[in-house]
Chains A and B, each alone.
Chain A
Amino acid sequence: MYLYLPVALTSINILIPIGLGLAVGLLSGLFGVGGGFLMTPLLIMFGIPSTVAAATDSNQIVAASTSGTYAHWKVGNVDFKMGLYLLIGGFVGGLGGVQAIKLLKAMGNADFVIKMTYVLMLGIVGTYMFFESLASMRKKKTETSKPAKESGLSKFLKSLPMQTHFEKSGVTHSALIPIIFGSFVGVLAAVMGVGGGFLMVPVMVYILRMPMHVVVGTSLFQILFNCIEVTFLQAYTNHSVDFVLAVLLLIGSTFGAQVGAVFGRKLKGEQLKIILAVIVLVVTVKIVYDLTASPSLLLSMGGGH
């Protein structure tokens, strides 16, 4: 059955957005990512204009991450305090990122920088996470967990002022750490035009040393607030949120997020990390392929990124 989308000005088979929502919602509940890095290109592939695809996806993520946060909160896997600090950082970083894009556009090579940032970030994060979780899965088999040696980085982090304890995550950090790394992710996310969940998750796992299950819940919590802000700005300034498309997507994604959260509890932290790493790497390969293969059309809508 086809439905007409009043803002995207196109008609779509409703099974496509519901199916996409289900798949991306599942990933969201499992890994604590919004899935924008998957959903937006898929929607464009199905004929949705790129601006509408990005804006509507953020509206849909509001629903998926509400559903996912709720599911994780019920089992005590959301660190609200950490989430709040990350949000503050993300907000500041987002403002900086928007300025960075303006500067890049004025310099005329925005698209190149954006694409390269995307590929490098996805590639590095995916590869690191893949090998790290592979190594820790092997280690678990031979010896029971030995406290990891303190690296130079973590020593430095411990020496910073404003140390505070995050109860849910069971870690102690300076309040500056989540704010600084949150803003770092915020800048990149704004430059790449994505929510940044796939960057935030590794930051929480490897730098903030939070347990994987709390990472997922907390990430969803902060994605929820980011996407509320983005949805409103997109609707208000660009008129690019398609309500009908968002509803179709969220029918799938809210259920997917619940299923993902339930399923995720049955998997170990390392297993979750390695699956996420593989997905990130597959997306990286796809982007690299798109960059090198000759496109069938040399012109594209909007001319944005």
Chain B
Amino acid sequence: MKVQGSKFKVFAYLLFAILLSAGTASATLTAKANHDRITVDFFYHGSTVSVRGVSDPGTDLIVKIASPEGEQTLGQKGKVGGLLWMNVGKLTFERVPSLYFIESTKNLTDILSEEEMNKYVLGYSALEKHAEVTPVSSPAEREKWFDEFVSFKTASKLYTASYGKITTTQEGGNQQYYILLDWPYQASPGEYTVSVYAVKNNKVVEQAETKVSVEQVGVVKSLATMAKGNAAVYGLISILAALGAGFGVGLVFRKGGGAH
């Protein structure tokens, strides 16, 4: 039964695809990033990522770049005794990406229903509903601290949300889109997913995906790997280098300064 079911599904998809391509002269949504691999060497100071592709004419577009979701624990500042600001506890944010960029052709709330935003986790309010924040005592507090979380992430350039940066041009019945984004050096090595959503009548009608990976290379990679994988040797080398530098400069000064 199961086999038959899946066969039927494949058939249905095929039929659907044929109908789509035959019925309308629509282009399938495509997405391509300018580079799928950003290499981090000693002189890395961030990069740029451009995303381009083809979409149906008349559709609005949303570009989301996000790291895999994870958990992040942050120190929580509060006033003690009504006077002094200090860390009063910790907050854990779960199911949040460490990097989250959201760009759209128009204001998200104008082109997409709330349900759809929540379904695809598009926009900060959708992300807030998707995330878990602990410990918070009330929904109001949850909202307050999630806003603080977004401010914290925005300050380190890891979260951005804006609209109007995507340019579209109509060409031969197709719509070409293009966006150029600054890629912050604060984004840690890892794989990031670029998702493009085509939107019509408040609904996501099509989706395309591509990846951008950030990788350390060369000496940067060796040092980072050694610091974690061979910590004792790494520590000893750090100490010896510091001792050597201290003595070295001391000797240079003795010669140069003429003091004894």
A295 to B249, CA, bound (A): 41
Question: Which of B51-59, B106-114, B116-124, B220-228 lies at the interface with chain A?
Answer: B220-228
Question: Which of A196-204, A230-238, A278-286 lies at the interface with chain B?
Answer: A230-238
Closest partner residue, chain B, to A259 (CB atom): B253
- Chain A nearest Cβ from B157, distance in angstroms: 10
Contacts of B145 in A (CB 8 A): 298-299
Contacts of A257 in B (CB 8 A): 246, 249
- Determine which of B155, B189, B235, B247 lies in contact with A241 in the assembled complex, contact meaning CB atoms within 8 Å: B235
A164 to B190, CA, bound (A): 60
Given A10-B185, A67-B249, A231 contacting B75 (CB threshold 8 A): no
Cβ contact within 8 Å between A294 and B85:
yes
A247 to B155, CA, bound (A): 28
Given A6-B220, A6-B224, A299 contacting B84 (CB threshold 8 A): no
- Chain A nearest Cβ from B243, distance in angstroms: 5
Tell yes or no: A303 within 8 A of B by CB.
yes
Given A231-B238, A235-B235, A299-B91, A70 contacting B185 (CB threshold 8 A): no
Cβ contact within 8 Å between A299 and B249:
no
Q: How many A-B residue pairs have CB under 8 A?
A: 191
Tell yes or no: A115 within 8 A of B by CB.
yes
A234 to B156, CA, bound (A): 25
Given A10-B186, A299-B74, A231 contacting B235 (CB threshold 8 A): yes
Closest partner residue, chain B, to A9 (CB atom): B188
- Chain A nearest Cβ from B156, distance in angstroms: 8
Contacts of A4 in B (CB 8 A): 40-45, 185, 220
Tell yes or no: B3 within 8 A of A by CB.
no
Cβ contact within 8 Å between A71 and B250:
yes
Which residues from 71 to 118 on chain B have a C-beta closer than 8 Å to any C-beta of chain A?
73-78, 80, 83-88, 90-91
Cβ contact within 8 Å between B231 and A235:
yes
A228 to B84, CA, bound (A): 35
Cβ contact within 8 Å between B242 and A6:
no
Tell yes or no: B151 within 8 A of A by CB.
yes
A74 to B156, CA, bound (A): 47
Tell yes or no: A297 within 8 A of B by CB.
yes
A250 to B242, CA, bound (A): 7
Cβ contact within 8 Å between B73 and A303:
yes
A6 to B215, CA, bound (A): 11
Cβ contact within 8 Å between A241 and B234:
yes
Cβ contact within 8 Å between B227 and A243:
yes
Cβ contact within 8 Å between A66 and B238:
no
Contacts of A66 in B (CB 8 A): 242-243, 245-247, 250
- Determine which of A63, A69, A243, A291 lies in contact with B85 in the assembled complex, contact meaning CB atoms within 8 Å: A291
Given A71-B253, A236-B231, A241-B235, A65 contacting B246 (CB threshold 8 A): yes
Cβ contact within 8 Å between A303 and B45:
no
Tell yes or no: B68 within 8 A of A by CB.
no
A135 to B76, CA, bound (A): 44
Which residues from 47 to 62 on chain A have a C-beta closer than 8 Å to any C-beta of chain B?
47, 59-60, 62
Contacts of A295 in B (CB 8 A): 77, 85
Contacts of A305 in B (CB 8 A): 87
- Chain A nearest Cβ from B219, distance in angstroms: 8
Cβ contact within 8 Å between A303 and B236:
no
Contacts of A68 in B (CB 8 A): 246
- Chain A nearest Cβ from B236, distance in angstroms: 7
Cβ contact within 8 Å between A303 and B227:
no
Cβ contact within 8 Å between B75 and A243:
no
A111 to B87, CA, bound (A): 6
Given A74-B259, A74-B260, A239 contacting B43 (CB threshold 8 A): no
Given A298-B77, A303-B73, A63 contacting B86 (CB threshold 8 A): no
A303 to B152, CA, bound (A): 13
Cβ contact within 8 Å between B224 and A7:
yes
Tell yes or no: B254 within 8 A of A by CB.
yes
Contacts of B241 in A (CB 8 A): 63, 243, 246-247
Contacts of A59 in B (CB 8 A): 238-239, 242
A297 to B242, CA, bound (A): 35
Given A65-B246, A111-B88, A299 contacting B238 (CB threshold 8 A): no
Cβ contact within 8 Å between B86 and A250:
no
Tell yes or no: A293 within 8 A of B by CB.
yes
- Determine which of B41, B83, B148, B253 lies in contact with A298 in the assembled complex, contact meaning CB atoms within 8 Å: B148
Cβ contact within 8 Å between B238 and A64:
no
Tell yes or no: A254 within 8 A of B by CB.
yes
Contacts of B189 in A (CB 8 A): 9
Contacts of B90 in A (CB 8 A): 303
Contacts of B17 in A (CB 8 A): none
Cβ contact within 8 Å between A301 and B75:
yes
Beyond the given pairs A235-B235, A302-B74, 19 more chain A to chain B contacts, judged by CB atoms under 8 angstroms and listed by A's residue number, are A4-B44, A7-B223, A7-B227, A9-B186, A9-B189, A62-B242, A65-B246, A66-B243, A67-B250, A111-B86, A111-B88, A232-B235, A235-B231, A235-B234, A258-B257, A291-B86, A297-B151, A297-B152, A301-B75
Interchain Cβ contacts under 8 Å between A and B, 22 examples: A2-B45, A4-B40, A4-B41, A4-B44, A10-B185, A11-B46, A47-B186, A63-B241, A67-B245, A67-B246, A70-B247, A111-B87, A241-B234, A243-B234, A254-B246, A262-B253, A294-B85, A297-B151, A298-B152, A299-B76, A299-B148, A301-B75
